[in-house]
A = this chain, B = another copy of it.
């Protein structure tokens, strides 16, 4: 018999991993709720017509396609089969595919339900996505995304709120972060000013290396990419832009004065910074001109969150896009959103050991099973204890004490209660804090009292 296994790039999540993941999802969910975001869910399977062509040619190849049910060959001739045009055949054999991200299904949702939605629509969505990527360390074929977006409002207050949301989420996690911000319009402005609009990606990539390789090498790279000497000259103040966010904004205003789009971008940035200043963040908020993620679809603000105490890629990102739903026939809907990288946050919390122990706790109190008589006496008591909200187990069999204690130990149960003949006679429960060794013998009422409002980890 074959050893059971799961498809490569997928994962099982054990109870401890689930507790950690739930802590992450619940924290993100709570903060979204605090800001009035509402949850939606979409099906795992979408029509391939919804998904194809939305993620570029490479993306199309990474879609998991679902074989049509029944006679999946009925629409195909023998010639088509033996021709072996796999892309074409796949489109006949498969009508459905697995969700590749949460953005396209959300756009589809907004258009399909436009008449039921009241705009601005603040939605969040926490669901798995699937990509037929080559699996490698930290890259999975099934992973969760935690997206929050506002559509139907182009107010910059939405950007302000999303920054607050990111700040609050990482404050709750205890992860020190820098929130980096840029604006697509500024990048466009720069390209306009130096007359190299089509080289904007090369430029940002090169500028990004300043810290590592120095100004000389950056300019060299720009030359290699085919930028004119004049353009490089004009770029120097931008590359060397430094100081506080306010100072950078001031310089950019001068530098980009000749570009209408550029000026607009700086104004947007300034507005957001001003509003954020009214409610100081825990995180650093940092204007970063090298931030160019999602350059293809973002049209305004661009966000990225980096953890300060650990080397890892960005753990959250987002930005504004001006035409999310146009591809589904509903033009003119502006949106702005962010996506928390649950897997990377999981790794950061693990490495920095930031999980609150209480979040990992399952059962709080285990009753050892000494036999039929004691068990029968305990049944109504355990019910009472549970009714008081204490997560309680009775070991299901009167096996050896050692085995029951080892169960409590493996499951990390902080309190173990013992009711043997003696306790039964006195109608009392003896229980022990497994960490401190502290013991008590109490009546049921006293026990419930004892545990009420108790922190089960610290015992206080």
- CB pair B383–A279 under 8 Å, yes or no, is yes
B interface footprint on A69-100 (CB within 8 Å = 1, 0 otherwise):
10111000010011010100110011110100
Q: How far is the CA of A113 from the CA of B6 in the complex (A)?
A: 12
Q: Which of A67, A108, A407 has the most B CB atoms < 10 Å from its CB? A: A67
CB-defined contacts of A214 to chain B, threshold 8 Å = none
CB-defined contacts of A14 to chain B, threshold 8 Å = 40, 113, 116
- CB pair B34–A112 under 8 Å, yes or no, is no
Q: How far is the CA of A392 from the CA of B61 in the complex (A)?
A: 43
CB-defined contacts of A69 to chain B, threshold 8 Å = 61-62, 64, 132
- CB pair B278–A10 under 8 Å, yes or no, is no
- CB pair B65–A39 under 8 Å, yes or no, is no
Q: Does A375 contact B (CB under 8 A)?
A: yes
> How many subunits of this chain does the assembly comprise?
2
Q: Which residue of chain B has its CB nearest to the CB of A39?
A: B18
- CB pair A150–B362 under 8 Å, yes or no, is no
A41 CB contact (under 8 Å) in B18, B43, B96: B18
Q: How far is the CA of A71 from the CA of B61 in the complex (A)?
A: 11
- From 299 to 345 in chain A, residues with beta carbon under 8 angstroms from any chain B beta carbon are 328-329
A residues lining the B interface (CB < 8 Å): 1-7, 10-15, 18-19, 21-22, 33-36, 38-47, 49-50, 61-62, 64-67, 69, 71-73, 78, 81-82, 84, 86, 89-90, 93-96, 98, 108-109, 111-113, 116, 118, 120, 122-123, 128, 130, 132, 141-142, 150, 153, 155, 157-158, 161, 164, 168, 275, 278-279, 328-329, 362-363, 366, 369, 375-376, 379-380, 383, 386, 389, 391-394, 396-397, 406-407, 410-411
Query: Can you list 19 residue pairs at the A/B interface with Cβ under 8 Å?
Result: A3-B112, A4-B328, A5-B112, A6-B112, A7-B47, A12-B41, A14-B116, A19-B39, A36-B363, A36-B391, A44-B44, A45-B130, A45-B142, A65-B66, A67-B94, A73-B84, A118-B410, A118-B411, A155-B396
